[in-house]
Structure 1
Amino acid sequence: MTIVHSAAAAPSDRGVGPLLRAWREQRRVSQLELALRADSSARHISFVETGRSRPSEEMVLRLAEHLEVPVRERNALLLAAGYAPRFPETPLDDPALDAVREGIERLIQGYEPYPALVFDAGYHVVAANRGIMMLLEGVPEFLLQPPLNTMRLTLHPEGLAPRIRNLREWRGHLLEQMRRQIALRRSERLRELYEEVAAYPVPDPEEFDDGQPPEQVPYFALPMRIEHEGRTLSFISSTSTFNTPMDVTVAELAIETFLPADPATVKHLHSLLP
């Protein structure tokens, strides 16, 4: 297993106030609303944001919690406020994370024959089961060199993209997902990845259209229809993260599972991976 992390946000030379204000404005929360959530006062929030008052370590963490600041960026807020980082960043292969690593492996293996994988904040694949490897059959070796990146594997014109029958819809879903993560994490590496994969050429509709009418389903249930061995398999994906993580590495892991969207897909997968 390997894991690649985006660089931590650098603490502001102007202190924690401007960083907190930026997060509050990004979340579209007023000073009064944040004060009510954090059991403080709008006056104190204003003083903190303008640098007239130095928040306690507890207050920084409380405000970060109510602003849903990612764990990595909470460390940056603490540093900017003059405190030590609270959350460690433990390598995934460290013995301290044995239970996490083993639990992840059991989870995705137990999901077989259906595809499942784990990726980090940069969309690098940390672990994948046999269902995923089956879908990657035939992908060129240069795209399979570590660290594997799920966005490159999916959207590259020599990756899975030519096999995805509803590529335009699925591509739009993935790019929107990345835009949300960029806004949340403010990662330059993630932005560079987005610009790379967004620039990949997209085939004309007739090159990947399977002749089926557009899916009449809600956006949250958009299926991925992908060709495998002359069949079109249909999946609905679901992404899970750890609840209230206390480690940067664990906080940035996501588990994506692909649920078959029709009986034919179920039957085909069970025939391949009994």
Structure 2
Amino acid sequence: MRYDPSVSDPAFPVFLKNWRKRRRLSQLELSLQSGMSQRHISFLETGRSNPSRFAISQLAEALEMPAAEIDVMLVSAGFAARSSRGGWDDATRKAIDASIDHVLQGHAPYPAVSIDRIWNLVKANDPAQRFFARAGARGDGNLLREILAPGSLRDRIVNWEDTARSLMRLFELEVARRPHDGEAHALHADLLALEGVQALMSTPPSTPNAPVLAIQIRMGPDILELFSLIATIGMSADATLDDLRVETLLPANDATRAWFERTFA
């Protein structure tokens, strides 16, 4: 993960204060949630006191910070990031990789992919590779850019505007969740610069949002409808693991289910 100094301040007092304000907490409220005295929090925000690793852990938990932001907070206070300490061994890594592979392969004949926090493709099962190739994907390593950029895949998405708007809103929530993630901010700017995306995001939707949005993709005479489930690794204190997502695409109707079973089974 790359951090951008233009969106971050290396000083711990400012970092803590900004995160407290993001959560709309007073010093007293943060004191009650973290188990620390209000006076100590005040001293930390003014720089009169320096935090310990334990204090940062208490604050991060109370502020519900993602693992990557906790790493930034630690570094801003002069400590090593948790993710740089090698807290998980090769056996754990292999077990996680095997579990992700199991989910991806077990989802066949439907598409499933593993992505990172900014939708860079990590792994894909065989149906996903074949389906996206068949749909005219350009092979971009970033799935958001693949779907939002002009091209064959975008042209095949019948409800592209609704899909693009939903994907951008979802990504913007992730950007907001990680204010010091330079790569995420850079990608967000790149996506808005794609043809039609900025104008789309500046225009309110013409119809109410559906409870679940199904992406509609035209494949020859068929229009396939798919919705997605996204899974994460639970209770991860490591930014690398916290970044991983497994997205499985599921048929939204019987016709779509039959198409995949007929085509990729």
Q: Same fold (TM over 0.5)?
A: yes
Q: Is contact 1:245–1:251 with CA below 8 Å preserved after alignment?
A: yes
Name the residue aligned to 1:7.
Answer: 2
| Residue 85 (1) aligns with residue 81 (2) | yes
TM-superposition CA deviations, 1:64-109 (whole Å, max 9, x none): 122122212212211222323223387xxx6751111111111111
Name the residue aligned to 1:233.
Answer: 224
Q: Is contact 1:9–1:73 with CA below 8 Å preserved after alignment?
A: no
Deviation, 1:261, is 0.9
| Residue 199 (1) aligns with residue 190 (2) | no
**RMSD over aligned Cα atoms:** 2.6
| Residue 188 (1) aligns with residue 194 (2) | no
- The change in CA–CA distance for 1:48 and 1:159 in structure 2 (over 3 A counts) is farther
- The change in CA–CA distance for 1:183 and 1:89 in structure 2 (over 3 A counts) is farther
Q: Going by fraction, where is helix more abundant, 1 or 2? A: 2
Q: Is contact 2:227–2:250 with CA below 8 Å preserved after alignment?
A: yes
| Residue 123 (1) aligns with residue 119 (2) | yes
- The change in CA–CA distance for 1:32 and 1:160 in structure 2 (over 3 A counts) is farther
| Residue 245 (1) aligns with residue 240 (2) | no
Task: Give the paired residue count.
Answer: 252
Deviation, 1:12, is 4.6
Name the residue aligned to 2:131.
Answer: 135
Name the residue aligned to 2:202.
Answer: none
Deviation, 1:236, is 1.3
Q: TM-score, normalised by structure 2?
A: 0.85
Of 144, 147, 166 in structure 2, the residue corresponding to residue 154 of structure 1 is 147
Name the residue aligned to 2:95.
Answer: 99
| Residue 49 (1) aligns with residue 42 (2) | no
Q: Is contact 2:118–2:171 with CA below 8 Å preserved after alignment?
A: no
C-alpha distance in 1, partners of 2:209/2:238? 40
TM-superposition CA deviations, 1:231-255 (whole Å, max 9, x none): 1111111212111113221111111
- The change in CA–CA distance for 1:46 and 1:260 in structure 2 (over 3 A counts) is same
Name the residue aligned to 2:166.
Answer: 173
Name structure 2 gaps, 5 residues minimum: 198-206
C-alpha distance in 2, partners of 1:18/1:105? 41
Deviation, 1:13, is 4.6
Amino acid in the other structure paired with 1:192: A
Q: TM-score, normalised by structure 1?
A: 0.83
SS in 1 for 2:249: strand
Q: Is contact 1:9–1:76 with CA below 8 Å preserved after alignment?
A: no
SS in 2 for 1:244: coil
Amino acid in the other structure paired with 1:257: T
Name the residue aligned to 1:61.
Answer: 57
Of 245, 248, 265 in structure 2, the residue corresponding to residue 257 of structure 1 is 248
TM-superposition CA deviations, 1:95-142 (whole Å, max 9, x none): 75111111111111101112111111232100111232233124668x
Which stretch of structure 1 is more off in the superposition, 117-126 or 28-37?
A: 28-37
C-alpha distance in 2, partners of 1:215/1:115? 28
